[in-house]
Amino acid sequence: MKLTTGQTYWDKTVKPTSSFPSLENDYHSDILIIGGGMSGTLAAFKLASTGKKVTVIDRAEVGKGSSSANTGLLQYASDTMFSEFVDKIGEKEAFLFYKMCLESMDELTEIASKLPETTGYRLRDSIYYASTPDDVDKLKREYSFLEKYDFPAEYLDHQKLFEEYGIEKPAALRTWHDAEVNPYQFIQALTAENLKMGVTYFEHTAVDMDSLTETAIMTDCGKKVSFESIIIATGYSKLYSELNGKAQMNQTFAIATKPIEGEFWKDNVMVWETKKPYLYFRTAPGGRMIAGGLDEESSDLYDDPELIQRKGQEILDEIKEMFPRLDVEIDDAWNSLFGISKDGLPFMGASPHQDNVYYLLGFEGNGTCYSMAGASIIQDLLDGTPNPYAHIVRPSR
């Protein structure tokens, strides 16, 4: 399954740290991770940090799947509002889920601060604006819950939003503890650290998921890989049977602009909105802007460069309506798959059907934050340590 089409931007910004061999013999690892994207890389980092023997297998190249199409907006707030989760799963569980995300953002920030290589990781505030006047009450309700539980958030009315950020919208929430990142650089930097901790990597090695047992899996070339535990971190490449009726595939469009001089807008905040599908955008080093939107339900990507370019122009035109003085052009445009869940939650934890099998699938639009949380959850499950969030995102729900 193709995960991206068009020309992505991030993989042009850094050369891979290393290239790895394919697996050509039977093999054993204490912990086997399938997938070398953001989820698999964070899981390997987390587990190797505690001295576990970890192996990562990727069917292509590390970081070259969905992660290379990631726009790199990292936020504790979910695509589903806290207040919406209150209606869906109850206030206690909504609080726990948002607390999990905030803690994960802080952990990502700590990890990034200790990496010796550049990753484009920068703390940024986010502006979440009401797309229409009808959404103002929704934002006010959301803010009431965030304020109640001391989440980092501020309500901005129309006047303050325009005066501070030049955004002509009815109202907004400003949140902090958020960040922007170059996801490909981040994966490469983490991979370098993982290698130092003894993680083994194999690229261009596909596995047959239908062959999975509680102790082994076969590669497409017929080699047996045995393990004590396996973590499925394959992103959006497959909808597993455990997710039947719980998830679906969507496609999204994104752009990177050509560089311009000067600041795009105040503090280079990250911006998104209440309507669905929503527009989202951020700045990037070198005077560029990264933006995305126009999500559609589909498990197949468009493979038409002209159509992808047109979709990208639609995104850019919408941003220019908000910032009329913005004189910028598209440099790269791409189309990518991502998974969403019916309840707005990712799937992270033990398989309901097979022992020793764990899923780390950061479905929804906050995948990097979820992947960090999921890596911690799976570490606790492997160690037999209670985790206060595991029940919320368990695949068996």
Specify the fold of 4-70+184-245+344-393.
FAD/NAD(P)-binding domain (3.50.50)
Separation CA 223–CA 204 (nearest Å): 13
Report residue 1's pLDDT band, with 50, 70 and 90 as the boundaries: confident
Residues in CB range of 70: below 8 A, 6 or more apart: 10, 38, 183, 367, 368
Look up tokens 């122009």; give the residue: 313
Residues in the chain: 397
What is the model's pLDDT at position 244? 87
Rg of the chain on CA atoms, in Å: 21
The dihedral built from the CA positions of residue 143, 147, 153 and 159, taken in this order, carries a sign that is positive
3-state secondary structure of 33: strand
Residues in CB range of 388: below 8 A, 6 or more apart: 96, 100
Give the tens place of pLDDT for each residue, 214-265.
999 999 999 999 999 999 999 988 888 888 889 999 999 999 999 988 888 9
Q: Interhelix angle for 136-148 vs 91-114, to 10°?
A: 80
Residue 35 in this model has a pLDDT that exceeds 90 = yes
Separation CA 375–CA 370 (nearest Å): 9
Residues in CB range of 223: below 8 A, 6 or more apart: 23, 24, 25, 26, 27
Give the tens place of pLDDT for each residue, 145-186.
999 999 999 999 999 999 999 999 999 999 999 999 999 999
Separation CA 392–CA 268 (nearest Å): 34
What is the model's pLDDT at position 369? 98
Query: Which pairing describes strands 54-57 and 200-202: parallel, antiparallel, or unpaired?
Result: parallel
Q: Record the pTM.
A: 0.96
Question: What share of the chain has pLDDT > 90, as a percent?
Answer: 91
What is the model's pLDDT at position 11? 86
Per-residue tokens: 177 = 């503890």
Q: Compute CA 135 distance to the chain's CA centroid, rounded to the nearest angstrom.
A: 26
Q: What are phi and psi of 396, to 5 degrees?
A: -80, -5
Q: String of b and e for 289-316 (b: at least 16 CB within 10 Å)?
A: bbbbbbbeeeeebbeeeeebbebbeebb
Q: Is 171 exposed, middle or buried (0-12, 13-18, 19+ CB in 10 A)?
A: buried
Residue 202 in this model has a pLDDT that exceeds 90 = yes
Residues in CB range of 376: below 8 A, 6 or more apart: 46, 104, 107, 387
Give the tens place of pLDDT for each residue, 288-337.
999 999 999 998 899 899 999 999 999 999 999 999 989 999 999 999 99
Per-residue tokens: 219 = 């590669």
For residue 374, which of 52, 40, 71 has the smallest C-alpha distance? 40
For residue 290, which of 260, 254, 329 has the smallest C-alpha distance? 254
Query: Which pairing describes strands 270-273 and 247-257: parallel, antiparallel, or unpaired?
Result: unpaired
What is the model's pLDDT at position 263? 81
Largest CA distance in the chain: 65
For residue 67, which of 202, 178, 182, 230 has the smallest C-alpha distance? 182
Domain ranges of the chain: 4-70+184-245+344-393
The dihedral built from the CA positions of residue 154, 183, 122 and 165, taken in this order, carries a sign that is negative
Separation CA 170–CA 157 (nearest Å): 7
Residue 56 in this model has a pLDDT that exceeds 90 = yes
